[in-house]
Amino acid sequence: MSTAAKGFTELQLQLADHIRTRGQTVPPADTEERRLKVYRDLFYNNVKGFLDGGFPVCRSMLGEEQWDRIATAFFKEYPHQTPYFLEISAAFLDFLNTGYNHEPSDPPWLNELAHYEWLELAVDVDPSDKPEGVQLDGDVLTGVPVTAPACQGFLYQYPVHTIAPQNPSPEPRQTALVVYRDDDEQVRFTETNPFTLSLLALVSANPDRLTGLQLVETLLQASGMEASDAAMAGGCQILQQWHQQGILLGTL
């Protein structure tokens, strides 16, 4: 690289660093502070705007000052690579889980709440679609059940879906949530229990194309439970209920 080339690259990195650190590093020579501030503010507010839009509950629960502190740390410290603006929210989750130094004042449910809020956005735009040839009125017990687009289950340690200004300090409680996109392309959440999450996992990954009944049986066996009539009926009832709710589209 020629010296001239090195010169302009260094200038570029110097300006980028100055913006990224929100003014903590030396800017390129002969640059007016007022104009540097335009860049610093535009860039930071742009990224913070994505966080504000993606995590409104986190923001309101933490308060502006703490939210701004976390957003600044994310903007400055996270090794941003994705060219996609919608993926900035996923990068923020990754930051909370791996790079962020939590402060004592941060609520213990922060990462889980952020995940729950991200999920709503992610499921809304998830590219997965209804598979071809689904029998919408198929029997989900005797046929091979199919889940709604982007359907997933998650187990949280806190009741994340209840966190609100009126409920700022929930007690820890295992909370199983199923999220999916319904027939009107709206994102839906349903609270369930860990056992049924395991059933959903079996339905979602069903390489042997087992029927609903076989899946319930498999789950009971794997859990070391006896496939009694009552237990089987319980599992079947869940599948049928999911079909009514739209968590299951039908059968293939």
Burial of 74 (0-12, 13-18, 19+ CB in 10 A): buried
3-class DSSP state of 183: coil
Q: Which helix (H) or strand (E) holds 77?
A: helix 64-77
128 binding another protein? (CB under 8 A): yes
The residue within the footprint of another protein, chosen from 150, 178, 219, 249 (CB under 8 A), is: 150
Closest to another protein by CB, 47 vs 177, is 47
Q: Nearest approach, Cβ of 214 to another protein (angstroms)?
A: 30
The residue within the footprint of another protein, chosen from 138, 145, 149, 159 (CB under 8 A), is: 149
DSSP codes, 78-129: S----S-GGGHHHHHHHIIIII----TTS-TTHHHHHHHHHHHHHHHH----
Q: Nearest approach, Cβ of 162 to another protein (angstroms)?
A: 26
5 binding another protein? (CB under 8 A): yes
Closest to another protein by CB, 128 vs 237, is 128
Taken as a whole, the chain contains a residue count of: 252
Distance in angstroms (rounded) separating the CA atoms of residues 75 and 70:
9
85 binding another protein? (CB under 8 A): yes
Given a contact cutoff of 8 angstroms between Cβ atoms, the answer to whether 12 and 28 are in contact is no
13 binding another protein? (CB under 8 A): yes
The residue within the footprint of another protein, chosen from 103, 120, 124, 183 (CB under 8 A), is: 124
43 binding another protein? (CB under 8 A): yes
| Span from 13-21, 167-175, 209-217, 229-237 in contact with another protein (CB under 8 A) | 13-21
Closest to another protein by CB, 70 vs 91, is 91
DSSP codes, 116-179: HHHHHHHHHH----PPTT-BTT--TTTS-EEEPTT-EEEEESS-GGG-BTTB-SPPP--EEEEE
The residue within the footprint of another protein, chosen from 62, 88, 199, 238 (CB under 8 A), is: 88
189 binding another protein? (CB under 8 A): no
- AA identity, residue 229: D
Angle at CA of residue 145, ends 144 and 150, nearest 5°: 135
- Give the number of other Cβ atoms within 10 Å of residue 81's Cβ: 7
Closest to another protein by CB, 121 vs 231, is 121
Residues that bind another protein (CB under 8 A): 2, 4-5, 7-9, 11-13, 15-17, 19-20, 28-32, 34-36, 38-39, 42-43, 46-47, 78-86, 88, 123-129, 149-150, 181, 185
